[in-house]
């Protein structure tokens, strides 16, 4: 197998599935090169439904070059309301054209329709009884163009390999078509890795913070986030982080001086340093207090990133051992498909689990072959039951190597996590225009388009 980029290996992604040379190229030259449309899973009532029972105004918004959080702030400012009254189901990439739902609490639908915000098209759809929350979508449909490829003819051979990985009987078309011929179509599969965005493309550090938290090393968690300079950062930022590392080694650290050196735009780092300077930072409780200076969603993200890293490591080990992803082996824990998901999605339902024992192994293999079930790996938490057989060995070996166990995720406040399981194979019906190199496919919620594109470009995470 072809080795992954070193930055990917740092977050647990060790290999590519396909051995063929990548096509090269770049993404996001123009916003239209990266289009994302939500596959919605949210109940919407008529616009004239009573406001008392349906206080949320539901809008479908198409954004060009807008960060989701920034648009929510701009929308709330335009309406003269609190930012907390604007909600959405999934955060989207800024360098793209994105279509997604927003809800606005107790707003005037006519006033929303009259707004004029550059780069935003807002359509009021109706009302809802509750605001959108994270995960109120089945997945996303992608249309992504690759520009300036070095080896465009490699698309066919890469697609062939990924179709085989999905299962030899899953191809929906001739994937070995050279550039300039008709459309390439196939059902492809690949490891359902967490993409680089989960950890940071320029400075992949969030999982290291999370692992320190899970081990109870609050000091190490803070210093990993505030210190640890990366070569990809501006020189001033590197210097400030290096000074933090120096103070951490000092018998009498000067956290106030570290705060003064930290650039103003690094507000989370500054918030932590401010608490260190105030508290004196002599105990674990002081460092935990510093870490809790960041919003609760970021606190959860640290632990989620640690879980994602462990999961990626487990998938890489399974891949390295040559074990199948499209069907179970003895002891695997499988989940069934989401019966409510749109037909274009191969979407798992991690709440419906079944262990593939020798008695059930043939049945679960048959379900997986027909797209009715998926093999899973754990996002480890306090309620995680590990697999049996060789997959269970892999899970236990990775956890032992990292010196963590499920019970360690019993943590205070927003850091606590019960865990879940996640399908190890992401499968999608891919269509590629060989002339424009525009890739079209749909993925379930939580799966990454960049995990698909990395197999084709093979240029490293910064290119994605």
- Those residues with Cβ within 8 angstroms of residue 385's Cβ, 6 or more apart along the chain or in another chain: 333
Are residues 348 and 368 in contact, defined by beta-carbon separation less than 8 angstroms?
Answer: no
Q: Name which of 329, 315, 340, 398 is nearest 368 in CA terms.
A: 329
**Structure tokens, 225:** 């986030």
Q: Name which of 123, 139, 134, 97 is nearest 44 in CA terms.
A: 123
DSSP per position, 307-371? HHHHHHHHHHHHHHTT--SSS--TT-EEEEE-TTS-TT---EEEEEEEE--TTTHHHHHHHHHTT
Out of 14, 33, 46, 93, which one is annotated catalytic?
A: 93
Separation between Cα atoms, residue 87 and residue 102, nearest integer Å: 6
The pair phi, psi for residue 404, each rounded to 5°, is: -135, 160
- Those residues with Cβ within 8 angstroms of residue 50's Cβ, 6 or more apart along the chain or in another chain: none
**Structure tokens, 341:** 């998901």
Separation between Cα atoms, residue 388 and residue 355, nearest integer Å: 8
**Structure tokens, 42:** 């949210």
CB atoms within 10 A of CB 251: 4
Separation between Cα atoms, residue 147 and residue 30, nearest integer Å: 10
Q: Does residue 463 have an active-site annotation?
A: no
**Structure tokens, 366:** 């048959």
Separation between Cα atoms, residue 146 and residue 28, nearest integer Å: 8
Q: Name which of 100, 128, 108 is nearest 44 in CA terms.
A: 128
Kindly provide the residue ranges of all beta strands, DSSP E only, lying in 106-246, ordered along the sequence.
120-128, 137-145, 184-191
How far CA 254 is from CA of 219, 230, 258, 260, 261, in Å, comes to 15, 22, 7, 10, 11
Q: Name which of 397, 166, 213, 372 is nearest 307 in CA terms.
A: 213
The SS3 assignment for 295 reads coil
Q: How many residues does the chain have?
A: 464
Alpha-carbon 366 to chain mean position: 29
Question: Which long-range CB contacts under 8 A does 277-282 form with residues at least 24 apart?
Answer: 281/219, 281/253, 281/255
CB atoms within 10 A of CB 23: 23
Q: Annotated catalytic sites, by residue?
A: 93
């Amino acid at each position: 197998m072809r080795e992954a980029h070193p930055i990917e290996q740092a977050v647990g992604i060790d290999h590519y599935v396909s051995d063929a040379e990548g096509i090269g190229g770049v993404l996001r030259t123009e916003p239209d090169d990266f289009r994302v449309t939500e596959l919605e899973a949210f109940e919407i009532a008529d616009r004239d439904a009573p406001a008392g029972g349906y206080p949320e105004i539901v809008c479908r918004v198409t954004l060009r070059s807008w960060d989701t959080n920034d648009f929510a702030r701009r929308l709330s400012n335009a309406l003269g309301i609190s930012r907390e009254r604007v909600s959405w189901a999934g955060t989207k990439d800024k360098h793209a054209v994105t279509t997604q739902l927003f809800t606005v609490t107790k707003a005037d639908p006519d006033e929303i329709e009259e707004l004029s915000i550059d780069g935003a098209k807002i359509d009021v759809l109706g009302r809802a009884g509750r605001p959108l929350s994270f995960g109120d979508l089945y997945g996303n449909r992608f249309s992504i163009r690759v520009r300036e490829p070095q080896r465009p003819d490699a698309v066919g051979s890469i697609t062939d390999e990924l179709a085989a990985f999905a299962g030899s009987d899953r191809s929906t078309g001739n994937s070995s078509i050279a550039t300039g011929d008709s459309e390439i179509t196939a059902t492809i599969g690949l490891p359902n890795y967490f993409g680089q965005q989960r950890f940071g493309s320029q400075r992949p550090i969030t999982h290291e913070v999370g692992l320190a938290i899970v081990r109870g090393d609050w000091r190490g968690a803070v210093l990993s986030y505030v210190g640890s300079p990366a070569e990809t950062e501006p020189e001033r930022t590197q210097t400030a982080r290096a000074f933090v590392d120096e103070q951490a080694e000092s018998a009498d650290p000067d956290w106030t001086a570290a705060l003064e050196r930290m650039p103003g735009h690094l507000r989370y780092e500054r918030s932590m340093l401010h608490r260190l300077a105030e508290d004196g930072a002599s105990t674990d409780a002081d460092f935990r207090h510093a870490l809790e200076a960041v919003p609760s969603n970021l606190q959860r993200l640290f632990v989620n990133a640690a879980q994602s890293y462990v999961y990626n490591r487990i998938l890489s080990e399974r891949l390295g051992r040559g074990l199948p992803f499209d069907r179970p082996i003895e002891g695997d824990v499988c989940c069934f498909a989401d019966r409510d998901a749109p037909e274009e999605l191969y979407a798992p339902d991690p709440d419906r689990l079944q262990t593939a024992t020798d008695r059930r192994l043939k049945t679960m293999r048959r379900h997986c072959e027909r797209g009715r079930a998926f093999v899973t790996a754990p996002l480890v938490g306090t309620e995680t039951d590990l697999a049996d057989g060789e997959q269970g060995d892999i899970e236990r070996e990775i956890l032992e190597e990292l010196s963590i166990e499920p019970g360690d995720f019993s943590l205070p406040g927003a850091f606590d996590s019960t865990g879940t399981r996640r399908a190890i194979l992401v499968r999608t019906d891919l269509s590629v225009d060989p002339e424009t190199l525009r890739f079209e496919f749909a993925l379930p919620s939580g799966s990454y388009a960049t995990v698909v594109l990395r197999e084709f470009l093979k240029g490293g995470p910064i290119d994605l």
